[in-house]
Chains A and B, each alone.
Chain A
């Protein structure tokens, strides 16, 4: 008789696991900060499409050996600083990593090695104007995040850098725009005047 409620509990637990869509939800607050990340770049407003950022990452050497036994790969991402998230819910920081929108640009992804690594990244041309920091996630064999590191402090206030986006405008686009607009107006006026003249001629 005691087995029945236990079975029920077990069943409910299994259901609860399935309700999380069969994955354990990974939260950011559960990740240990074991990686050390630095980003170096020219000390001015960076331009998308032109400037380069050099990112260095590696395990914090003060930690015990074997901390990184589960780390199989690394992904380094460009993330929005809090000031660029104000009034922009599409960049919101949420603890549940599958719903978190803080980091939307991939800098580099590759296998994890115990030695420190670095990568030089040219800022892509679809990066918007905002203030950023760099974060690295260590992933296990199943591509789940197991640890992280970032070049800023826990409150995301230090070592931030600003990137200026490309405008997306081109002289050729502007010229095409003006040409088609002019065509529209001229065609309209042309038709109107031509028909008016025809009307006057018909009356004469």
Chain B
């Protein structure tokens, strides 16, 4: 079944549920290789790569991967570049705690909107220009830091730089044009995690650059402004690399992008309604706000916290803060891996428990971090907190593909937005007022993480059950087919629009865990023409 390039959810279409969410290659009988193609990697009939070769830069597939994740990484670097320099900036601009907190909220709020628009931009211009436009048009906003002279300007510039986080969308979109849908889970998960590392890398880079500029003789209040030129140049350099080295499709560029129109397009309003009327969507929006959201909030406050609480030097605080974000390298993939392993044994119930355990542990360690009075304990608590929160992010996306087949793209998008909303909210409540000291704010944030993770106990799938309840006893309702085809009404079913949902349902039986073999195949479930 051919698909509209880049339509919402198309990057995840093909994740059937049978394979682990993070397969790195797909063998020939499942997806036939196009032997006439002359690429470095084996490709399918659309010339999308079937294999993920991490340390290759070969054109076009792996080169796209690296251009894409490094662009996303760059935007994370610039969005959080101010955070480790706040001890200097707050003195230069005469900021109060509210100003610092509000700027942190602003830095994550902009991308809520820009991510929504980015999908349409990629549809119009293609992901290569989408990425290049965003990264090169946000370069001036980074350079604007040299003009800032008060709290208002600071908040405004951080808000504008935050728009660049929409490169997440172009990154995922671009990969879906280059990689076969059966391995797209691992590819996109790796790109997302490595991009997020930028939030950690910036805590190392910026104090280092600041120190070098100070050694060169600059005064502090000028040195931090000059330091911002580094992320600015990175934006420009990555933009040019994307434009010169990248291409939209395996076979060439945008002009050959043709929309394959032989499948009835799904109506956006219906897809949206299907997403927002599913209560599980909202539970995961909330949950992601307390895994990804708290990760973003912590990126914004942790360097300043260590600097003030333990009287460290700026670059020492930066190194410690960096380990928080850099844990994404392994922690996020680990979460997905743990989710997959639990699914093998216990099915969907295992995935839900893994998510609850990882996220709650993250919350507990966050409480500990706020209460730690000595530096070594605080660092230990922070590292454990980072592993819990980031693994929970990975585990979340081990479950999301199963909430809905029809509205997968929108649910993924809403979840992502929930992450930023959660971040803005926690920064507003706990880190923008003098009511809480930063250590109290961290502990209360930990309490909120534990509390807001409890709703995962309410997520119930009739065909698989929930954390505590077994699957439905009803013969019809307890089938995967019933759940996924109930997203379509009778009229749509008559047109056969639900056929890929049925295929997905059949393959998602693996989410029953070890009970797969004993599950009876209900009669009349799989139409013969699929």
| A interface, CB within 8 angstroms of B | 86-90, 125-126, 128-130, 165-170, 173-174, 176-178, 180-181, 183-185, 187-188, 191-192, 195, 199, 202-203
A168 adjacent to B92 (CB under 8 Å): yes
| Apart from A180-B229, A191-B132: 15 A-B pairs, beta carbons within 8 A | A129-B94, A130-B94, A165-B91, A168-B224, A169-B147, A173-B146, A173-B222, A174-B146, A178-B143, A180-B233, A180-B236, A184-B140, A185-B137, A192-B129, A199-B255
Residue in contact with B236 in the complex, picked from A128, A167, A183, CB distance below 8 Å: A183
Instruction: Return B82 CB to nearest CB of chain A, in Å.
Output: 14
Is the interface on chain B under 10, 10 to 19, 20 to 34, or 35 or more residues?
Answer: 35 or more
Report whether over half of chain B's contact residues are helix, strand or loop; otherwise say mixed.
helix
**B240 & A187 in contact (Cβ 8 Å cutoff):** yes
Chain A residue numbers with a CB within 8 Å of B96 are 86-88
In the complex, the chain A residue whose C-beta lies closest to that of B149 is: A167
Minimal Cβ-Cβ distance residue in B for A84: B94
Is A88 touching B219 in the complex (CB atoms < 8 A)? no
Q: Given the known A-B contacts A169-B149, A187-B136, are A180 and B143 also in contact in the complex, defined by CB atoms under 8 Å?
A: yes
Quick check: B146 and A177 within 8 Å, CB to CB?
yes
Interchain CB contact under 8 A, B222 and A188: no
Complex interface: chain A residues within 8 A of B220 (CB): 125-126, 168
Do A176 and B236 have beta carbons less than 8 Å apart? no
Question: Whole-angstrom distance from the CB of A189 to the nearest CB of chain B?
Answer: 9
Cross-chain contact of B136 among A173, A176, A178, A185 (Cβ < 8 A): A185
Inside 8 A of B229's CB, which chain A residues have their CB? 176-177, 180
Report the Cα distance A89→B140, complex, angstroms. 33
Does B308 sit within 8 A of A, measured CB to CB?
yes
Q: B81 → chain A, closest Cβ, in Å?
A: 15
Closest CB in chain B relative to A204 CB, distance in Å: 13
A180 B139 Cβ-Cβ under 8 A = yes
Interface flag for B253 (CB, 8 Å): yes
Find out whether the CB atom of B255 lies under 8 angstroms from the CB atom of A202.
Answer: yes
A168 to B, closest residue via Cβ:
B221
From B90, B133, B144, B437, give the contact of A177 (CB < 8 A): B144
Central interface residue in A125, A176, A177, by most chain B CB within 10 Å = A177
A128 contacts B91, CB within 8 Å? yes
Assembly CA distance A130 to B93 (angstroms)? 11
Tell me, rounded to whole Å, the shortest Cβ–Cβ distance linking A65 to chain B: 38
Residue B180, interface by CB 8 Å: no
Q: CB-CB < 8 A to B18: which residues of A? A: none
A176: B residues at CB distance < 8 A: 146, 229
A169 to B144, CA, bound (A): 11
List chain B residues, Cβ under 8 A from A174: 146-147
Do B225 and A168 touch across chains, with their CB atoms under 8 A apart? yes
Interchain nearest-CB distance for A49 vs B (Å): 8
9 A-B residue pairs with Cβ-Cβ distance under 8 Å, sorted by A, are A86-B434, A166-B219, A169-B149, A180-B143, A180-B236, A187-B239, A192-B129, A195-B253, A199-B254
Inter-chain contact B136/A188, CB cutoff 8 Å:
yes
- Render B220-257 as a binary contact track against A, CB cut-off 8 A, 1 for contact: 11101110010011011001100100000000011100
Residue of B nearest to A175 (CB): B146
Inter-chain CA distance A89–B304, complex, in Å, is: 11
Would you give the shortest CB distance from B363 to chain A, in whole angstroms? Answer: 24
Question: Which residues from chain A contact B508 at a C-beta distance below 8 Å?
Answer: none
Q: Which residues of B contact A195 (CB under 8 A)?
A: 253
A125 B239 Cβ-Cβ under 8 A: no
Q: Roughly how many angstroms separate A128 CA and B232 CA in the complex, as a whole number?
A: 26
Kindly state whether residue B525 has any CB partner on chain A within 8 Å: no
| A-B pairs with lowest CB-CB distance, top 7 | A168-B221, A181-B140, A128-B91, A87-B96, A184-B139, A177-B143, A188-B136
Min C-beta distance of A66 to chain B, whole Å: 36
In the assembled complex, how far is the CB of residue A96 from the closest CB belonging to chain B, in whole angstroms?
13
- A129 to B95 CA separation, bound complex (whole angstroms): 10
> Mask for B199-225, Cβ within 8 A of A = 1, else 0?
000000000000000000001111011
Interface assignment of B71: CB less than 8 Å from any CB of chain A: no
Known: A126-B220, A165-B92, A173-B225. A87 touches B143 (CB 8 A): no
Q: For the complex, give the distance between the alpha carbons of A167 and B146 in Å.
A: 10
User: Which chain A residue shows the least CB distance to B87?
Assistant: A90
- The answer to whether B437 touches A89, judged by C-beta atoms less than 8 angstroms apart, is yes
How near does chain B come to A84, taking the closest CB pair, in angstroms? 9
| Interchain nearest-CB distance for B141 vs A (Å) | 9
Inter-chain contact A168/B143, CB cutoff 8 Å: no
B residues near A199, Cβ cutoff 8 Å: 254-255
Within the complex, which residue of A87, A166, A177 is in contact with B97, where a contact is CB–CB below 8 Å? A87
Query: Are B139 and A90 touching (Cβ within 8 A)?
Result: no
Closest residue on chain B to residue A191 by CB atoms = B243
Q: Which chain A positions have C-beta within 8 A of B486? A: none
- Is B56 among interface residues, defined by CB-CB distance under 8 A? no
With a CB–CB cut-off of 8 A, which chain B residues contact A90? 87, 90, 308
Bound Cα distance from A199 to B252, whole angstroms: 12
Residue from A89, A130, A187 in contact with B308 in the complex, judged by beta carbons closer than 8 Å = A89
Residues of A within 8 A of B254 (CB): 199
State which of B139, B146, B243, B438 has its C-beta within 8 Å of the C-beta of A89: B438
Decide: B221 and A184 in contact? CB cutoff 8 A: no
The answer for the CA separation of A180 and B224 in the assembled complex, in Å, is: 17
Given contacts A87-B434, A90-B308, A188-B132, contact A165 B146 (CB under 8 A): no
Q: How far, in angstroms, from A86 to B94 measured CA to CA in the complex?
A: 12
Q: How far is the CB of B365 from chain A (nearest CB, A)?
A: 23
Q: Which residues from chain A contact B437 at a C-beta distance below 8 Å?
A: 89
B window 77-103: CB within 8 A of A: 87, 90-92, 94, 96-98
**Cα distance, A129 to B240, chains bound together (Å):** 41
CB distance from B67 to the nearest CB of A (A): 15
A142 to B225, CA, bound (A): 40
Question: Are the CB atoms of B219 and A168 closer together than 8 Å?
Answer: yes
CB nearest to B221 among chain A residues:
A168
Q: A169 — which chain B residues lie within 8 A by C-beta? A: 146-147, 149, 222, 225
